[in-house]
Structure 1
Amino acid sequence: MRIAVAGGTGTVGRHVVDVARERGHEVVVLARSAGVDLVSGDGLDAALAGVDAVIDTANVASIDREVAERFFTTTSRTLLAAEERAGVRHHVLLSIVGIDDVPYGYYEAKLAQERVVEQGPVPWTILRATQFHEFAGQMAGRLRIAGVQLAPRMRTQPIAAREVGEHLVALAEGPAAGRAGELAGPREEQLAEMVRRLVRTEGRRGPVLPVSLPMRGMAEMRRGAVLPGPGAVIGRQSFDEWLVARAS
């Protein structure tokens, strides 16, 4: 197959690229560094020539709803229109577990993106996955103040980004399936404890302070709204195993 990966240089996208190549597929990376602009569509028609399936893992750093929704809906519409012109047969979108139940701007933006894909002209599959193991580092980087590491309280069941990549490629290899089963890691974790373990493995010895962030949607996350439901596919690598592999 010829598989295009939107956001193929990102946290999950780079694993999708690796896995697809390992399975013998021809891979096209859709990213600005590869000469493709997913917002304007520049370079997209040429990149999608002969492509069988597109896996969309593209992301935006902003958690502001308007910014994130503009990015996700614009890039999805641009991709889907180009895919229709190119005769692409399958669009696979990576999304997030629990976004129906959490009034959080970034999640609301992902819901808007899902609706664009569902209403689009290309047969689709949407995979909702839980947070990645890397999520702890992202939170740690944003919440370090005057030598104190803040660690948000939140229930999560993190999954290895590599395993998400494997699952996305497997879905792309098959026919469009609509809503795929959720994907989650092997055990539930407290995000605050994940952050603490992460910074300790990095050699940081300052205080780590668990906090209940007052942001919209965080109360639902503390109650477990982003945990997988019954029947979810469960991954292999735990957060502690990921920490060991990361340090080696």
Structure 2
Amino acid sequence: MRIAVAGGTGRVGRRVVDAVRAAGHEPVVLARSTGVDLVRGSGLDEALAGVPVVIDVSNMSTASRKKSEMFFGAATGNLLSAGRRLGVRHHVALSIVGVDRVEFGYYAGKRRQEALVVTGGVPATVLRSTQFHEFAAQMVANRRPVALVPQMLTQPIAAHEVARCLVELALRDPVGLAPEIAGPQQLRMPDMVRRLLRARGRRRVVLPVRLPGATGRAMAGGGLLPARPGPRGTQTFDQWLAAGA
């Protein structure tokens, strides 16, 4: 079966593409590099012709509510419109654990995405995931001497485990909001970043920063932890580091 992966060239998307192949199916990558612009909607009809399943892991980096809502509203709306025209049978979208409990600009866009997906006229599944192990590396991607890291309590999971779960869900019947997926242990983001730097032999000052107001309290106090039972990854953060992250 052909399975489209929106954002299939990104950090998570590449792993979803690998998981689709590992499951014995053919991935169809939806990205600008393959001639598809999700925000404009160009190239979608050609790419989705004869494709019964779409997995959407498209993303953008922003803390702006307006930009996030514009991106996810446009990209999701275009994917769903094309899906309705072309007979897509299952639309699977990746979201974030706590997106409904933490008021943050980026999360507003994800809430917009979820609302569109569940009412979009295409049978759908939404999977909320906690932060990836890989998120710690994003915190130190620049070369500044001081790493400003949010005081965030999370239950991180390896991206490849989330990718595998997305493909498993895509091959089943649509369920709407699926049980949340998370990693095997709770950790604080500044500690994760320090462990990552030690593992890579890098010297950086890690400065924990608490975001202001209710957002900071929620992130530091467990608002991003899973609230209900669901699938749990098995690879710990230290095991992920030892594997050469």
Quick check: 1:130–1:227 contact (8 Å CA) kept in 2?
A: yes
What CA deviation, in whole Å up to 9, does each residue of 1:26-64 have, x standing for no partner?
A: 110000011111111111101001101000000011121
Quick check: 2:65–2:108 contact (8 Å CA) kept in 1?
A: yes
CA distance in 2, matches of 1:130, 1:179: 15
Aligned residue runs from structure 1 range 27-42, under 5 A: 27-42=27-42
Tell me if 1:82 matches 2:82.
yes
Aligned residue runs from structure 1 range 126-205, under 5 A: 126-141=126-141, 145=144, 147-205=145-203
With normalisation by structure 2, the TM-score equals 0.96
CA distance in 2, matches of 1:114, 1:209: 33
Aligned to 1:105: 105
CA distance in 2, matches of 1:230, 1:41: 35
Quick check: 1:151–1:193 contact (8 Å CA) kept in 2?
A: no
Instruction: Quote how far apart the aligned CAs of 1:134 are.
Output: 0.9
Identity of aligned residues (%): 56
CA distance in 2, matches of 1:66, 1:151: 23
Quick check: 2:124–2:175 contact (8 Å CA) kept in 1?
A: yes
Distance 1:215 1:135, change over 3 A: farther
Instruction: Quote how far apart the aligned CAs of 1:176 are.
Output: 0.8
Q: Which runs of 5+ in 1 are unaligned?
A: none
Aligned residue runs from structure 1 range 24-63, under 5 A: 24-63=24-63
Aligned to 1:242: 240
Instruction: Quote how far apart the aligned CAs of 1:213 are.
Output: 3.2
What CA deviation, in whole Å up to 9, does each residue of 1:8-37 have, x standing for no partner?
A: 011111111001111111110000011111
Instruction: Quote how far apart the aligned CAs of 1:178 are.
Output: 0.7
Quick check: 2:179–2:228 contact (8 Å CA) kept in 1?
A: no
Aligned to 2:96: 96
Instruction: Quote how far apart the aligned CAs of 1:215 are.
Output: 6.9
Instruction: Quote how far apart the aligned CAs of 1:235 are.
Output: 0.6
Q: Letter of the 2:191 partner, please give it.
A: E
Aligned to 2:71: 71
CA distance in 2, matches of 1:208, 1:2: 44
How many residues end up aligned between the 2 structures? 245
CA RMSD across the alignment: 1.4
CA distance in 1, matches of 2:164, 2:146: 37
With normalisation by structure 1, the TM-score equals 0.95
* Paired residue secondary structure (2:54): strand
Quick check: 2:12–2:159 contact (8 Å CA) kept in 1?
A: yes
Q: Judge which range, 81-90 or 149-158, deviates more.
A: 149-158
Quick check: 2:154–2:187 contact (8 Å CA) kept in 1?
A: yes
Q: Judge which range, 53-62 or 212-221, deviates more.
A: 212-221
Q: Which runs of 5+ in 2 are unaligned?
A: none
CA distance in 1, matches of 2:196, 2:214: 26
